[in-house]
Every structure is written in C-alpha cells, then in structure tokens.
Amino acid sequence: MAEIGIILAIFVVALLYSSVGHGGASGYLAVMALFPFFIEPSVTKPTAFILNVFVASIGTWQFYKAGYFSWKIFLPFAIASIPLSFVGGMITLPITTYKVILGVVLILAALRLAWKLNAANSEVKAAPLWVALIIGAVIGLLSGLIGVGGGIFLTPILLLKNWSETKVAAGISAMFILVNSIAGLAGNPGQIAALPQHIWPWIGAAVIGGLIGSTLGSKKFNSLTLRRVLAVVLLFAGVKMILV
C-alpha cells in the first residue's frame, strides 16, 4: 500500500508542479519525508533530482514549443547557478542539518504554492546582470545541497520583480530546474548507484503527470486551488522534518 501511495502522490505532484513549469522536487521530497520507513534519507536528494530531470525535460519542451521562454532572461541566472549546483551536489550534509534545511525549504515552497503570483498587469523590465548572477549562484548552491532544481525560488523572484511574464517565467524555470538538477547529480555521481530499485514506477508516474500538467499549463490551466491543497501537504512535511 505504501508503494501505491507513493506512486500516486508522485503523479499528483508532477502534474501540479509541471503545470507551472516546475519539476516538483520539493513535492517529491515532501512525499519521501512522509514515508521515512520506506525511503532512506540518504537517497532522497538523488531521487528528487532524477524525477526532476524527467519532468523538467518535458516541461522545458512544452513551454519552449509554445513560445514561453527567453534566453536573454534565462542565461544570466543559469550561468551562475550551474557550477554552484554542481558544488552543492558534492556536499553531503549531516542528516540532522539536512532535515532542518529541507524542512525550511518545504515550508517556503508551501507558502509559494499557496500564493498566486501574477505579473500580467505589470511592465516587464530587464534584471540587472550582477543581480541575476548573484541570485542564480545562491539558488544553485541551495539546489545542489538539498536536491531541488531551484524553480520554486526563481519563479516568484522573476514575477515579484517584474522580470518576466507569468508563462515565460514558467518556461524559464523549467529549463533552470533541468540544468541545475543535472549539475547537482553530476556533482556526486556515486549517489545514483544508491537509488532505490523501485524508482522506475516513480519515474513512470512522474513522466505521465509531467506530460499532462505541462500540456495543460502551457495552454490554459488554473491550478490555484489544487496547488493550495498541495501546499498544506508541503507545510506538514516541512514541519515534520524539522521537529521529528
């Protein structure tokens, strides 16, 4: 039953996250945090990265094909984030420290999902290059350390600062997540060998959910209510990681 529950949860996470251009790592980490008896903490980071790569690849293609992407906005953030994500991937934090940092990130992700950001009525302006590089570097390091692609942080920054339109931000975040997840895995390739044997059904669920979610998201799909439900799960998982 636990295995079926995990597969269904990963499918839902992939569907909802991919609809807004995200790979879903914070959601997968939350799912794994809720099943600690089934998944070793040491494999949560590489597992989240692997699922991210599959889902973010689909999202990148869907949003790019639909015209929702900007190399000009993407490159400064990515250039700084990729090497730092690689470095972060090389670092294995003590389990206690990892759980606290992950718990905080899950709580922040919950707040992000519960809050609808919309830059449609604001004039888009260019991000200062040095600011984009610093933000990209910080997000990249954090992404590599805990096993997320960074989209959960980049998207709200792009929208709050009016550096991108909403759907373009989703497309940028999808590719940002993809490259950071690959860099994070490359920083510690040995962790791939430790992946759980039952990961393939999880990948299948993530791919199907990612296909559905990114297709709907790149067209027209308002998942605000569903994302708020997911936010409650993330909040619960984040608090659990910190306190237990």
* Per-residue tens of pLDDT for the chain, all 244 residues: 678 888 999 999 898 888 877 888 888 888 887 776 677 777 888 889 999 999 999 999 988 998 989 999 999 999 999 999 999 999 888 878 887 888 888 788 778 767 765 545 567 889 999 999 999 999 999 999 988 888 888 988 888 888 998 788 889 999 999 999 999 999 888 777 778 778 899 999 999 999 998 888 776 655 565 566 667 767 877 787 787 5
Dist CA 136 CA 157 (whole Å): 11
Three-state SS at 165: coil
Nearest by Cα to 142 from 59, 45, 23: 45
In order, the DSSP letters of 167-198 are: HHHHHHHHHHHHHHHHHHHHT-GGGGGGS-TT
pLDDT of residue 119: 47
Dist CA 57 CA 152 (whole Å): 16
Q: Which tokens sit at 28? A: 């997968």
Q: Amino acid identity, residue 181? A: S
Nearest by Cα to 158 from 56, 63, 74, 230: 74
**Domains in the chain, number:** 1
pLDDT of residue 78: 97
Give Cα 17 distance to the centre of its chain.
Answer: 8
For residue 60, the enclosing domain spans 2-243
pLDDT of residue 29: 86
